[in-house]
């Protein structure tokens, strides 16, 4: 995975884009209809690269949000990269480590630089990772709906499109009945639920009522800090427990394993501070016998391309939240990714293997800023 290439960044361009979702996406932490996406283009002495931040415009999923990230990029992270240049991209996480937290922002910078490095070297992200599967099985994440009938209908449309794994968003008041109805209509479907921290330990008996529905997993029912609560839940329910928000680093994975708080890990490179951290967590989980899958945060084609390559590593044994482009966007900023037999082909072009449609990016940019060393 390492490379000898030394790289000097000359300019970072931070852009905020407005992208309407094909259908509003409701979770326990809010509803998104038009997604604000932050992308980064880096110009280096070795060529340019693109990264995507996955940060939300409000701090409702994790603590990071766009306005804060803007400040952190300009005042704290990017100056450290300029000061450290020339550097190896595999050292970016270490260069940025003195700044605490802000993992999604760090991940976006690493991503843009990695894309630049790989283009310069003429190799694909998949080759860099040493992954080999040419296509990966993917699932779809279905938001909370007004009615259960609507949910059953939406799920059946996705199943008809070829998705073999469906994740339902749940929250108190929208959990047991929706799951029961979707399960009745789809007895063999791989089905899982995601609560995005909407419950607490007083809900253990309630969540145990999900056990009869043969779910693949229940994802992050309790708060991001509550590993002990998840361990207690794990003792009292038979559905496997998956962690998302609770895993910000490999140390969190080690702690969760030591506390018997986890069966399955959702790996989101942005949430853990980058693709190199994601690979380290993958390797640890493989050694520990913990299945992993690749989460999603409504990415554009840039993040989707990179996640497909990551998900082609052998430990990713469960389908990821990496759906086809048309589940998210009428028009994306890259060429579309399409579903074929429940799978999506892993890109093999240089870098992340996608060309960014810069004219369209210009059209949907509502904020743009360049950061150069003189600033």
Query: Of 234 and 304, which has the nearer Cβ to ligand NPG?
Result: 304
- Closest separation in Å from C-beta 232 to ligand NPG: 22
Cβ nearer to ligand NPG, comparing 303 with 315 = 303
The distance of closest approach from Cβ of residue 312 to ligand NPG in the complex, given in angstroms and rounded to an integer, is: 17
- Separation of alpha carbons 75 and 71, rounded Å: 6
Q: Count of CB atoms within 10 A of residue 40's CB? A: 24
For the question of residue 167 being annotated catalytic, the response is no
CB 10 within 8 A of CB 43: yes
CB contact set of 212 (below 8 Å; sequence gap of 6+)? none
CB nearer ligand NPG, residue 46 or residue 54: 54
β-partners of residue 124 are 351
Contact 295, 248 (CB under 8 A): no
Minimum CB separation from ligand NPG for residue 169, in Å?
7
Catalytic one among 100, 106, 268, 326? 268
Nearer to ligand NPG, 35 or 276 (CB): 35
Query: Where on the chain is the footprint of ligand NPG (CB under 6 A)?
Result: 27, 56, 61, 141, 194, 196, 244, 295-298, 321, 323
Q: Which of 100, 106, 169, 326 is catalytic?
A: 169
Spatial neighbors of 194 by CB under 8 A, at least 6 apart, are 27, 141, 167, 168, 169, 170, 218, 219, 220, 244
Q: What DSSP string describes 108-175?
A: HHHHHHHHHHHHHHT-BHHHHHT---SEEEB-EEE---SSHHHHHHHHHHHHHHT--EEEEE-BTTBS
Query: Residue 77 corresponds to which tokens in the numbers above?
Result: 């992270």
Query: Tokens standing for 56?
Result: 């939300």
CB 295 within 8 A of CB 330: no
User: Closest distance between ligand NPG and the C-beta of residue 49, in Å?
Assistant: 22
The DSSP H or E segment spanning 362 is helix 358-364
Q: Which residue of the chain is nearest ligand NPG when measured via CB?
A: 296
DSSP state of 50: E
Any catalytic annotation for residue 268?
yes
Least separation, in Å, of the C-beta of 323 and ligand NPG? 5
* 312 or 323: CB nearest ligand NPG: 323
Report, in Å, the least distance between residue 295 CB and ligand NPG. 5
Max Cα distance, the chain (Å): 62
Q: Of 194 and 226, which CB lies nearer to ligand NPG in the complex structure?
A: 194
Cβ-based neighbour number of residue 70 at 10 Å = 17
Least separation in angstroms between CB 223 and ligand NPG = 14
Task: Give the nearer residue to ligand NPG in terms of CB position, either 226 or 244.
Answer: 244
Residue 337 CB contacts under 8 Å (≥ 6 apart), including other chains: 301, 304, 305, 308, 324, 325, 344, 345
What's the min distance (Å) between Cβ of 352 and ligand NPG? 16
81 versus 253: smaller Cβ distance to ligand NPG: 253
Rounded to 5 degrees, what angle do the CA atoms 122, 309, 311 make? 160
Q: Three-state SS for 282?
A: helix
Q: Which residues are catalytic?
A: 169, 268
């Amino acid at each position: 995975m390492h490379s000898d290439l030394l790289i000097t960044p000359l300019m970072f361009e931070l852009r905020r884009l407005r992208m309407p979702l094909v259908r509003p996406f409701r979770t326990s932490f809010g509803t998104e209809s038009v997604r604000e996406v932050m992308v980064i283009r880096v110009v280096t002495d070795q060529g340019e690269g693109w990264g995507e931040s996955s940060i939300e415009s409000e701090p409702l999923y994790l603590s990071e949000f766009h306005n804060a990230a803007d400040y952190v990029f300009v005042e704290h992270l990017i100056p450290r990269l300029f000061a450290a240049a020339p550097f190896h991209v595999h050292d970016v996480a270490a260069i940025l480590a003195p700044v605490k937290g802000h993992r999604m922002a760090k991940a976006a910078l690493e991503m843009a630089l990695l894309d630049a490095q790989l283009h310069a070297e003429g190799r694909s992200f998949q080759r860099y990772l040493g992954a080999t599967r040419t296509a990966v099985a993917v699932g779809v994440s279905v938001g909370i709906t007004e009615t259960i009938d609507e949910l059953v209908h939406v799920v059946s449309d996705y199943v008809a499109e070829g998705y073999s794994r469906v994740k339902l968003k749940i929250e108190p008041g929208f959990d047991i009945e929706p799951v029961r109805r979707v399960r009745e209509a789809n007895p063999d479907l791989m089905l899982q639920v995601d609560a995005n921290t909407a419950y607490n330990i007083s809900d253990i008996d309630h969540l145990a009522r999900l056990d009869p529905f043969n779910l693949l997993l229940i994802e992050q029912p309790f708060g991001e800090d509550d590993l002990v609560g998840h361990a207690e839940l794990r003792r009292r329910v038979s559905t496997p427990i998956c962690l998302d928000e609770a895993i910000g680093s490999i140390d969190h994975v080690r702690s969760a394993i030591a506390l018997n708080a986890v069966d399955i890990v959702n790996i989101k490179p942005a949430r853990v501070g980058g693709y190199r951290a994601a690979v380290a967590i993958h390797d640890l989980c493989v050694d520990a016998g913990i299945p992993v899958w690749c989460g999603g945060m409504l990415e554009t084609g840039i993040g989707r391309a990179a996640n497909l390559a990551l998900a082609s590593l052998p430990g990713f044994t469960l389908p990821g939240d990496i759906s086809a482009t048309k589940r998210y966007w009428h028009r994306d900023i890259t060429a579309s990714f399409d579903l074929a037999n429940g799978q999506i082909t892993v890109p093999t072009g240089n870098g992340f293997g996608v060309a960014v449609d810069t004219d369209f990016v210009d059209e949907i940019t509502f904020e743009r800023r360049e950061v150069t060393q003189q600033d």
